[in-house]
Amino acid sequence: MASKSTMRVISKGELPLAPNPRRIEMPVTQLAPMERRRAGWFTALLLMINFVGDGWSGRPIGVAHQLFLLPFTAGFLVLLWRFLHGSESKTAWWSTERALQLALFFEILAGLLFLYECHHFAPLGYRLHPFAVLAVFIPLLILLTVLMVKPRAQGGLIFGAVLAAYIAGVLLAITSFPLNYLRSDMLPVIQWADTNLLHHLSPYATMYVGDRIYNFPYLPGMLVAFFPFVAAHLDIRFGSIAYVVGSAVLVFWAAKVERRREVAALLGLFLLCPFLQYRHELYLQPHWFTLVAIFVLMQRRHFAWAAFVFGVSMAIYQFSWILFPFFLLNAFRRRGWLESAKLTGVGALGALAVAGPFLDSATRRIANNTVGQWGLMPHAEAMPINLSYWVTYLIRPDKLLRLQAVLMIAIFLYCVIRKGCATLEDTLRWSIVALTVFVLLNVLVDGYFYLMLLVPMLLYTCVANGWWREAEGSYDKI
C-alpha cells in the first residue's frame, strides 16, 4: 500500500523554515596531486629539521659531527628543490588525516621530551610531576584521535584543537620550567634589557650576571616586542604564546573556507612539532608574526601596510633585511619604480618608528652585537644542517658576511634577470631560496633558524596550492 505523503502545505503568510546554518557546508573538492606533493615536501622538510634540531646528547663533536651532518644537508637541499619547483613523483601521500596522525605522534613525543627535559635540567630548577604531563597531554591526545578518525571534521575544530595543544604545552613549560640563562640566555637577556629600559637605563649597557658578561645582542624591535610583557611582570613566554597564536590565526583566517581543514592540519604539524615544543625559550616569535602579517597583507593587496610591517620586521630581526629587496622587486613588477620607491619610504618609516629612539645612543653597539661579535671564532658555530663550517676552512669566519652579501646580490640579480617576483607565490619562492642560502652560510647556525625558515615555507605551501582566499578586486589597496 502506498504511503501517505508527509509534505506540508505552507499556508498563506507563513514563511518557510530557514535551513540550519550549521548544516550548510562548502562542497569539498579533492586535492590535486601537486597540492598533495607540495604539502608532502613541506612535511618532509619539517621532519628533517626536527630530527637534526640542535644536535642531541652524546653526539660526535668537531669534524666527526660535521661529516655526520653532510648527508642531512644534502637531503635537505634536495627536498627544498623539489618543494619549490613542484617536482613530479609517483606518489602523493599527504592528506589531512595523515597529517593529523603525525600531529598526534608529535604530541606523544612532546610529552616524552618534557619528561626528559625535566630530568636533564633538574639542577636548574626544572620540576615536572608526571601526572601534570598526563593531565595536559591525555585530553589533547584524545581530542586529536577523535579528529583523526572523524573524516569530515571541520577546519575550525581542527584548528582550535591544535592551537589549544600548543598553548597547553607552553603553559606547562611556564609553570614547570623557569627561565634560566644557564640553559638558554636568549629570553633572559631580553628580559634584563627590558628591565633596564623600565628603570630608564640603556638596554644596550653591559650586563653582569653571575660570572658572565652580556651585551644585548638583538635589534631594538625585539625589545619593543617583549616590553609589554616585562612591564606587566609576566613570564616573557606569554609573549611567545601571543605572537604564535596571532600568526596562526592570520594564516587560518586567510584560508578559503573549503580548504580550512588542510590549512589547519598544516598549522598543526608546525605548532606541535617536537622541536618547537622543546624549545619553549625561543625569542623569534615576534619576527614570525611580522612575516605572516606581511604576506597575508600582500595576499589581500594591502601593499602599503605590508611595507610598513616589513619595516617593523627589519627593526626586530636582521633576517628580514634579506627578504625586503624581493618585496620591492614584486612592487616593481606590479607598478614600476615609483611603487618600489613609495614602499621603500613606507618601510623606512616602519623601521624608524621602532628603532629610531635607540639609534642615537647605541648605533655602534647594535652593529657589533648583531653582526660583528661572531667573527673571532676559528670556525663557524654550527650544530645543525649547514655549509658554513666547511667554508671557514677556506675563508676566515669574519669574512663569511661578505660572502653572504655577494651571494644575496647574485641571487637577487638572477631573480631580476629571470623576471621573478611577479606574483606572491614567486616572491615567497625567491625569498625562501635567499634565506636558506644565508642560513646555511651563517657564522652562527642554530637549529631554531630552520624553524624560522619553516614559516615562509608554510605560507608558500598555502599560496602555491591556492588554499588562501583571493582579495576582492584586482586593484591595490592601502
Cα separation, 396 vs 400, whole angstroms: 7
Cα separation, 72 vs 49, whole angstroms: 9
Cα separation, 199 vs 290, whole angstroms: 28
What amino acid occupies position 369? N
Three-state DSSP state, 213: strand
The pTM of the whole model exceeds 0.75: yes
pLDDT truncated to tens, each residue of the chain (478 aa)? 444 444 444 444 444 444 444 444 445 578 888 999 999 999 999 999 998 877 655 555 678 888 888 999 999 999 999 999 876 666 678 888 889 889 989 988 988 888 888 888 999 999 887 777 777 888 777 877 777 777 677 888 889 989 999 999 999 999 999 999 888 889 999 999 999 999 988 888 888 887 888 888 889 999 999 999 999 999 999 999 999 999 999 999 999 999 999 999 999 999 999 999 999 999 999 999 999 999 999 999 999 999 999 999 999 999 999 999 999 999 999 999 999 999 999 999 999 999 988 877 666 666 665 555 555 566 677 788 899 989 988 888 888 889 999 999 999 999 999 999 999 999 999 999 999 999 999 988 888 999 999 999 999 999 999 999 987 765 566 6
Query: Are the beta carbons of 454 and 251 closer than 8 angstroms?
Result: no
DSSP tag of 369 = I
Task: Return all residues near 371 (Cβ < 8 A) that are at least 6 apart.
Answer: 318, 401
Cα separation, 111 vs 370, whole angstroms: 35
Q: Residue 249 phi/psi, 5° resolution?
A: -65, -40
Query: Are the beta carbons of 332 and 412 closer than 8 angstroms?
Result: no
Three-state DSSP state, 363: helix
**What's the distance, Cα to Cα, between the start and end of the chain in Å?**
69
Domain segments of the chain: what residues?
32-53+93-179+235-282, 180-234, 300-478
* Cell numbers that stand for 188 in this block: 633572559
What amino acid occupies position 135? A
Q: Residue 12 phi/psi, 5° resolution?
A: -65, 130
* Cell numbers that stand for 221 in this block: 624591535
Instruction: Give Cα separations from 26 to 142, 164, 259, 380, 468 (angstroms).
Output: 27, 25, 10, 52, 15
Residue holding cell 622538510?
A: 45
Query: Are the beta carbons of 244 and 271 closer than 8 angstroms?
Result: yes
